[in-house]
Amino acid sequence: MPKKILQTFIICGCLVAVLISISACGDSRAEETVSGPDILAIAWPDGLGGPERPLVKFPHEVHVTAAEKDGQDCSFCHLTREDGFLSHKFMRLENTTAEEVENIYHDNCLKCHQRLAEAGQASGPEACGECHRRDNKFQIDWSPIYFDKSLHYRHIEANENRCDLCHHEFDEATQTVKYVKGAETACRDCHGNTDSDKTVSYRKAAHYQCLKCHMDHPQTGPVSCSGCHSANTRAAITFVENPPRLKRNQPDLTLISAPEAELDQSKMNTVLFNHEIHEGITMTCRICHHQTLKACDECHTLEGDPKVNGVNLQQAMHSMKSDHSCVGCHDNSKNHADCAGCHNLMEQGKLSEHACPICHSGPEPDKMNTDSRSLDKLAARRSGAAKNKLSFAVSDIPEEVTINKLADKYEPAVFPHRKIVNNLIERVNKSRMALYFHGNADVICQGCHHHSPVGEKPPLCESCHGQPFNEDNLFRPGLKGAYHRQCMGCHQQMGIGKDDDCLLCHKMAAGEETIGSTGQGD
């Protein structure tokens, strides 16, 4: 056999072998993959250099179950700290040297696996490469749990209003923690993402406090990773629909303004904020108070404090990209089917011309009066201004509008104008937010007549869309495009009827034929 042909066969054979090997490994990994919230990555301790081998993915609950069968509990792997909490670290309270930490894992893990194997029981790996694998079959599938108002209320009930069991603050004088009634704050107010000189991280604090309580009181709450961090398990937790309001000396009404030191620089009127109403429609205070329970202006100044990444007060309240901002949260609400029919067809990322005075209706910054009676009067006056009434008689709304400008293969479309207006008004009346921000029912007209002044008789659609499609102005389609985009777009967003059936609006003209159920003529 010629030398070149022999070389070609050898190369091809090697490539086939490699491909078969890769395919086999891929199939094996796919079959063996195990995922869950209990899969922990045993990270190399900070400050002790980098690991020489891939990090170990550790199935925690498998080991918990095995320990229980062996008559052991958590203390078999975790030591108890001076404060009574279990250490998160394996078989140690603190990190010492890289060599000592490495030996703790290797000696204890391997020793346990070897003991079980010698006893003929199911065991774990005993070779380095079986734990330190690049193609580890264990995959972390973890999701956070939020201590919402439902969970909070259930804990209050279970502990008979003993808020001091969880809430505390650090006393600088005694260097200890204490409870102050009425000053309860969120865990994140003190516990950040990392440990500090005086506090542990939020993650550690939550696990120390919650786990110890659940372990001290069996059957009260989960002690496994999946008990909190599995979406399926959380879905099975009993949910309290309308828990009582949490009392923490918070105001029912308050004025949102610039920080006191910057009031003279503020150019906008203050905003009257109904705290009680917003508490009732959210399940956690963190929707707004995303870091601490302090007032917004304590973190967000007019200029923007570097401590909060320079996010100034205006951005914190108006950013449409943030769920924590007022405007961002309200903008997300427009995706509801009752709102989307109009709002999703409007220009996105821009506030309407009448939006600012709706919120900024409080007194000027230098004339603020936070007395409760004054705020109550302001709220009553604002509520009266938000009545949803038309500025004209309902009888002035045409009962029907016949759209015949494009009649060709179809008969003119008869548009039930008054019925649709009344339907939209009914939907608005069901929403406190819509009533507040629409200001009056005339705004309903702008859902279709989108560039017409509020409260004035709108011009015909052809006044703006009379010209055929113009590629130089994509935001002004021709009349046919405008009708179909507006009508069908609304139906799609609100889930009304079949948007692909022309005969829902148009009857076929005499002599025309239909094809299929869509009423398309040839």
Encoding tokens for residue 58?
């550790």
**Are the beta carbons of 57 and 135 closer than 8 angstroms?**
no
CA distance 383 to 368: 19
**Are the beta carbons of 79 and 86 closer than 8 angstroms?**
yes
Give this prediction's pTM: 0.74
Mean pLDDT of all residues belonging to the chain:
83
* Model pLDDT, residue 195: 87
Q: Judge whether residue 227 has pLDDT over 70.
A: yes
Q: Measured over all CA atoms, what is the biggest interatomic distance in the chain, rounded to whole angstroms?
A: 104
Strands 39-42 and 56-59: antiparallel
Residue with tokens 């696996």: 113
CA distance 82 to 402: 82
Position 244 confidence tier, pLDDT thresholds 50, 70, 90 = very high
Q: How many residues does the chain have?
A: 522
CA distance 461 to 477: 11
pLDDT top residue among 21 and 361: 361
Q: Judge whether residue 517 has pLDDT over 50.
A: no
Radius of gyration in angstroms for the set of CA atoms belonging to the chain, rounded to a whole number: 33
Q: What is the pLDDT of residues 39-62, one digit of tens each?
A: 998 877 777 777 788 889 999 999
Q: What is the pLDDT of residues 81-102, one digit of tens each?
A: 988 899 989 999 998 888 899 8
State the average pLDDT over residues 209-229: 89
Q: How far is CA 396 from CA 214, 258, 392, 418, in A?
A: 66, 45, 7, 9
Which range has highest mean pLDDT (111-125, 379-393, 444-458)?
Answer: 111-125
* Model pLDDT, residue 77: 94
Q: Judge whether residue 135 has pLDDT over 80.
A: yes
Give the per-residue SS3 of 367-423.
Answer: HCCCCHHHHHHHHHHHHHHCCCCCCCCHHHCCCCEEECCCCCCECCEEECHHHHHHH
* Model pLDDT, residue 6: 38
* Model pLDDT, residue 510: 61
State the average pLDDT over residues 415-421: 91
The percent of residues in the chain predicted with pLDDT above 90, rounded, is 30
Query: Residue 343, class by beta-carbon neighbours within 10 Å (0-12 exposed, 13-18 middle, 19+ buried)?
Result: middle
Concatenating the DSSP letter of every residue in 6-70 gives HHHHHHHHHHHHHHHHHHHHHHHHHHH-EEETTEEEEPPPTTS---SSPPEEEEHHHHHHHHHHT
Q: For 233-255, b where at least 16 C-beta lie within 10 A, e where not — what string?
A: bbeeeeeeeebeeeeeeeeebbb
Closest to 170 measured CA to CA, from 157, 160, 156, 180:
180
H or E segment at 432? helix 432-438
Q: Judge whether residue 17 has pLDDT over 50.
A: no
State the average pLDDT over residues 154-163: 92
Alpha helices of 273-319 — where are they, by DSSP H?
A: 275-280, 313-318
Concatenating the DSSP letter of every residue in 469-504 gives P-TT-TTS--HHHHHHHHHHHHHHHHT-S-TT-GGG
Q: What is the pLDDT of residues 361-409, one digit of tens each?
A: 899 988 888 888 888 988 888 776 556 677 788 888 899 998 887 667 7
**For residue 323, how many C-alpha atoms fall within 13 Å in the half-sphere facing its CB?**
6
* Model pLDDT, residue 386: 57
Handedness of CA 213, 215, 216, 222 (dihedral sign): positive
State the average pLDDT over residues 113-130: 90
Q: Which of 24-33, 114-123, 215-224 has the lowest mean pLDDT?
A: 24-33
Q: What is the pLDDT of residues 310-335, one digit of tens each?
A: 999 999 999 988 989 999 999 999 99
